[in-house]
Amino acid sequence: MQLLDTLSATFVDAFGETPVLIKSPGRVNLIGEHTDYNMGFVLPAAIDKAIYMAVGPRTDRQLHFMAADLNSTYKSSLDTLTHAAKGWANYLLGVVDEVTKITPLTTGLNVVFGGTIPIGAGLSSSAALENAVVFALNHLYNLGMERVSMVKLSQRAENNFVGAKVGIMDMFASMMGRAGHVIQLDCRSLDYTYAPLKMDGIRIVLCDSRVKHSLVTSEYNTRRAECEAGVAMLQAVYGDRIQSLRDVTIDMLNQHVRDQEPLLYRRCAYVVLENGRLLDGVADLQRGDVAAFGQRMYGSHEGLSKWYEVSCPELDILEDIARNHPGVLGARMMGGGFGGCTINLVREDALADFEKTIREQYRAKTGKDTLIYSCVIEDGTHVL
């Protein structure tokens, strides 16, 4: 792979040593959106778009980072772990900072990294980068950390140092991925199981709306508050039985929320139904029924668009074009919403026609071009 050769050569030129090479993948989420912060279930998988890192220990306490794709360098020290003006460096520094809270590092780190994850497409390049750093430190310094511990550390790095209050799904999927499988993750307990994804003759295809709406942060916070308000209404009736929407049924919502607070009802009902769709979808995959799973993806998109209201016209157009293509088994918006990608299950023999149709019809209906990425499910973060 040319990128690996380039990263290795750059590392040798800069530091005069042969690096350890690490691959840390991006992720998709097949179903289960906005369920993570409601203590529900998600169904992500690691993909073949990844961060690649050449890394090695130093003999002093310096930290030398090189972002090959950006042609940018950053130098610091274990003794001065402060925020960098270069935003990308904070993802690395945050991980180093969290590791030093657990165990003192006696020597620094040399890093050269690049990647194949499209930036801004919602495939979690930041989580992949954080995982690569903690995996490298664990490997080089024999820290003895288990994978789930490294996942939690990556999340703390982004929460505490970068300052983004993200959930755990992105890091978990990138680190824990398994080729040919999706991860059924319980966001309350962090219990997880692998479900087989028998994708013979079917590809996961992402269509990028090329829309980046500024609404996503404010509306995300609003949705969280609406869900919490719905939970509070039910706690007034059921007490401690209700800790989150995970504990709620549609009957409870019908009885105590629907007529009193119609907006809160729609928000909470979407989450409750989405958890059910996910669990039923896992059963579909266990049976090898990808077509049935695809129908649940359409249901997920309708819920996100009409009930949770986090879609946008462009995402709805992409989903509608896919739904009406005979080679597509399922499609929905993926991620926080108001832009980003749709995720589609497409028959390989229809792939070329699907891409042509999406490009032509999306251009005709929106005046925009879409970017299309075909993905393969692969293993999580590992040494090459």
Number of domains forming the structure of the chain: 2
Rounded CA separation 30/296 (Å): 10
Tell me: do 49 and 174 sit in the same domain: yes
Rounded CA separation 76/78 (Å): 7
With a CB cutoff of 8 Å and minimum separation 6, the contacts of 358 are 207, 318, 321, 322, 325, 370, 372
| 274 in a structural domain | yes
**339 contacts 212 by C-beta, under 8 angstroms:** yes
Tell me: do 276 and 173 sit in the same domain: no
pLDDT at res. 198: 81
Tell me: do 224 and 344 sit in the same domain: yes
With a CB cutoff of 8 Å and minimum separation 6, the contacts of 42 are 29, 32, 35, 36, 169, 183, 185, 187, 278
pLDDT at res. 56: 98
Tell me: do 245 and 364 sit in the same domain: yes
Q: What is the CATH number of the domain that holds 333?
A: 3.30.70.890
pLDDT at res. 280: 96
Tell me: do 11 and 151 sit in the same domain: yes
| 380 in a structural domain | no
Per-residue pLDDT of the chain (384 residues; tens, 9 = 90+): 799 999 999 999 999 999 999 999 999 999 999 998 899 999 999 999 999 999 999 999 999 999 999 999 999 999 999 999 888 999 999 999 999 999 999 999 999 999 998 876 778 889 999 999 999 999 999 999 999 999 999 999 998 998 877 788 999 999 999 999 999 999 999 999 998 888 789 999 999 999 876 665 678 789 989 999 999 999 999 999 999 999 999 999 999 999 999 999 999 999 999 999 999 999 999 898 999 999 999 999 999 999 999 999 999 999 999 999 999 999 999 988 888 899 999 999 999 999 999 999 999 999 999 999 999 999 999 999
| 382 in a structural domain | no
Nearest Cα to Cα of residue 20 among 187, 137, 185:
137
**Domain residue limits at 131:** 2-196
Q: Which of 142, 168, 196 is the last residue of a domain?
A: 196
pLDDT at res. 57: 97
**327 contacts 291 by C-beta, under 8 angstroms:** no
CA distance to 191, 255, 274, 315, per residue, from 269 (Å): 24, 12, 8, 22
Q: Which of 176, 196, 216 is the last residue of a domain?
A: 196
Tell me: do 226 and 89 sit in the same domain: no
pLDDT at res. 253: 98
Dihedral sign of CA atoms 313, 272, 238, 223 in order: negative
Q: What does R_g of the chain's alpha carbons equal in angstroms?
A: 22
Query: Could you give the residue numbers annotated as active site?
Result: 170
Tell me: do 140 and 59 sit in the same domain: yes
Q: What is the CATH number of the domain that holds 30?
A: 3.30.230.10
Q: Is the pTM of this model over 0.95?
A: no
Tell me: do 207 and 187 sit in the same domain: no
| 384 in a structural domain | no
pLDDT at res. 321: 98
pLDDT at res. 231: 97
| 383 in a structural domain | no
Q: Which of 171, 196, 221 is the last residue of a domain?
A: 196
H/E/C letters for each residue in 75-104?
EEECCCCCCCCCHHHHHHHHHHHHHHHHCC
Tell me: do 229 and 261 sit in the same domain: yes
Tell me: do 214 and 160 sit in the same domain: no
| 381 in a structural domain | no
Rounded CA separation 172/257 (Å): 34
Tell me: do 218 and 296 sit in the same domain: yes
Tell me: do 281 and 327 sit in the same domain: yes
